[in-house]
Chain A
Amino acid sequence: MSNGINFAFLDEYAKREIRRSVIKAICIPGYQVPYSSREMPMGRGFGTGGLQLTLALIGVTDTVKVIDQGSDDSVNAVNLRKFIEMTCPGIATTTRLQEATLIQSRHRIPEQALRADQILVLQVPYPDALVIVEPSEDKRKVMHGEADYSRLLVKLYEDIVKFDEITISHRYPTRINDHYIIDPSPIPRYDVPKLHNSKALILFGAGREKKIYAVPPHCPAEPLAFDDVPFRIEDFTDSRGERRACKLCGSQESFLDEFIDEQGERVYQCSDSDYCEQQQELAHG
């Protein structure tokens, strides 16, 4: 870029600080490391936390994939990818999971398993799972330090009392390495088990709230639940008890988006567009 913007936008001091925070986050799985999040040229809430991680970690040999809501072609994904391409000359971008070394995503973890040589960066609006029970950050810090999560568990208890069901739909509180409970970002419950013992490093970046945290490879991640009221993922069975399939690729194993088509019919379609395309390619040989 002409007007003297550094490779990967951020100045080198900023990148170094973010990398130090990442290392700390990996060393203390699930601990929210504060960092002085910089203003990025897109809105807070649009993935500036994830973007800062990506920009601090990226090198010219990297291949980047950006996903939003499972899709590489949604407005925000395109916007972020274009920005990365613009500020990081020499890097490659892809929509294929298998080709990517660095994957930035909002609201989804890809359907297919990640490899040890990949890093997944998730964008986070609310980094702290305790915020629903305690507004003060100062107090939450102490609660995390002491692994004092009883008030969060009471929330689950009250849910079951009221609704006979844990009503948390996404951002499902998940305990990392038997201590810290994280907000795993607004991924569906369907994706939470993928955090557990993942081969890839999973990083979480909250730009507006200025926190970085990590689920390192092969680290246990347990969604909160009671012994007799287990954690449950989204249910995609129809009224006949059959698993719904993607309208496009026919997969019965993926997280589905539901919408009403032009004819007024309710249809289901893979949320992960890259996975869906790969399934279709396989089917057509």
Chain B
Amino acid sequence: MDKILEVKGLSQVYGPGCDLCFTSTGPEFETNICPHCGSIVALHDLNFDLYKGEILGIMGESGSGKSTAVKCLYFDQIPYSGSALFFDETEQKRLFELNPAQRRSLRNHRFGMVYQNANLGLNFDISAGGNIAERLLMSQVMNYREIRERARELLARTEVLTERMDELPKNFSGGMQQRVQIAKALATRPPLLFLDEVTTGLDLSVQAKILDLILEIQSELNTAMIVVTHDLGVIRLLAGRTLVMKYGRVIERGLTDQILEDPQHAYTQQLVASAL
């Protein structure tokens, strides 16, 4: 199996930061706020490898640092420290050493992101088709008919009625917005997809369909994914391996079924016990 991403020592601090930040926060202190400088240690020393076609789950409550991790990797935020190596087709790229144009190019061509809040991933003022067109246009596809055709195919694949492709996504239901986001994320067939709480807030039946869709896409395109969620059900269905996070730290990691059936950490045991 081939590695696609290698993350080492990834940390994120909001605030000035001080020498004591990392040694005074975390699960054992039950806080991620540094008592010395008031900074928030959103993430500390995250390490993991991701392989091609693999789905990795990152589970935790809000404030655990799980979303911060993907936001750093997708360049929505600049991390405090750490490294991430992306194994692209022919070359390896150190994500946090790239210049803004290189970062944008990776975001547009090689990564996809689906946010919990669709208006972060979609431009609500342009049509569903236009949203997909935007990503294709970034990839220098300059033929109008071809763009229309590919947008239509992608929306059909993600089960959005293609008659609605020229409508504004702000008029769509939540589930439909997520489908458009997924279609947009997939437009350039990226080998790596980030999913941040994608089903949170949707009806159960809609959730199940979205999760199904994600798995189908993963098996069709062999897309590697990082799935961030607080929902054990999502983790169970999607992820092969899971990291459990609390106060910015990974407190437990393992195969997803092991995490769910034989959790080691007190916090994970509590999570699993309260959910099952």
A-side interface residues toward B, CB under 8 Å?
142, 145-146, 148, 150-151, 153-154, 157-158, 160-162, 226-229
Contact = CB atoms under 8 A, between A and B. Distances in A.
Contact of A146 (B104, B126, B130, B142): B104
A24 to B, nearest CB: 21
Given A146-B100, A228-B144, A161 B130 contact: yes
Contact of A150 (B100, B134, B145): B134
A154 B135 CA distance: 9
A146 B126 CA distance: 22
Contacts of A227: 142-144
7 contacts: A145-B101, A146-B100, A148-B138, A150-B134, A154-B123, A154-B134, A161-B127
A-B pairs, 9 with minimum CB distance: A226-B144, A150-B138, A153-B137, A150-B137, A227-B143, A146-B101, A154-B134, A157-B133, A229-B144
B49 interface: no
B113 interface: no
Given A226-B144, A228-B143, A157 B100 contact: no
B116 to A, nearest CB: 23
B259 to A, nearest CB: 40
B166 interface: yes
A148 B144 contact: no
A278 to B, nearest CB: 40
Contact of B129 (A142, A145, A161, A229): A161
Interface residues of B, number: 20
Nearest to A148: B104
A158 B148 CA distance: 11
Contacts of B182: none
Given A153-B137, A160-B144, 12 more contacts: A148-B104, A148-B138, A150-B134, A150-B135, A154-B123, A154-B126, A154-B130, A157-B129, A158-B126, A226-B143, A226-B144, A229-B144
Contacts of A145: 100-101
Contacts of B126: 154, 158
B190 to A, nearest CB: 16
Contact of A161 (B101, B108, B166): B166
A142 B100 contact: yes
Q: Taking chain B's interface residues, is the majority helix, strand, or loop, or is none over half, making it mixed?
A: helix
A158 B104 CA distance: 23
Nearest to A143: B104
Contacts of A153: 133-134, 137
B147 interface: yes
Nearest to B105: A146
A150 B166 CA distance: 18
A161 B100 CA distance: 32
A151 B129 CA distance: 13
Nearest to B101: A146
B217 to A, nearest CB: 23
A160 B123 CA distance: 18
A157 B147 CA distance: 9
A145 B100 CA distance: 10
Most buried by B among A146, A150, A154, A228: A154
A142 B133 CA distance: 21
Interface in B102-138: 104, 108, 123, 126-127, 129-130, 133-135, 137-138
A157 B104 contact: no
Contacts of A154: 123, 126, 130, 133-134, 137
Interface string B174-218: 000000000000000000000000000000000000000000000
